[in-house]
Amino acid sequence: MLKFPALCAHRHTFFLNSNHMEWIAEAFERKWFYIGAIIVSSLYGLGGLIHIGNVVGFGEMKWIDSPTSWRVGDLWWGTLDMVAVVGVAFKSPIGIVALLLAATSQIVMYGYFPQLVALTDAHNATLRTLVYFNGIVVVVASIALWIAGNK
């Protein structure tokens, strides 16, 4: 029987239940899935370090002087990216959930509201690249989860 642990629609509400978490945990038993998750989460970890670096003063401007959307994004994605890295490293389903949440929230923010975070043309180009990257991650991760769960 084919199964897929994506968000389930129930009366117009989306949720994750314990079956989905068990399903993701079982996917970690596949060596190829775990290695792929480590590689992808490492990339998100680098992004998380960039966001944390912005907070501690290594960004292109002082963090306190940056737009509010940048500050919120740095806290949101810095946290999610690190949860993804640690979660995947310990084979916790929450790592995959955090990774997919980080990816989809970046697609929404950077794809639909770039004016909130892009101050220059270079920022816009970077955001487009991140939207494509995150879109690929969501598609590939969904396919990998589906394959891992149906073997």
Residue pLDDT, tens place only, 97-148:
999 999 999 999 999 999 999 989 999 999 999 999 999 999 999 999 988 8
Helix/strand/coil for 117: coil
Confidence class for position 13, pLDDT limits 50, 70, 90: very low
pTM, to two decimals: 0.85
Percent of the chain that is helix, strand, coil (3-state, to 5): 75, 5, 20
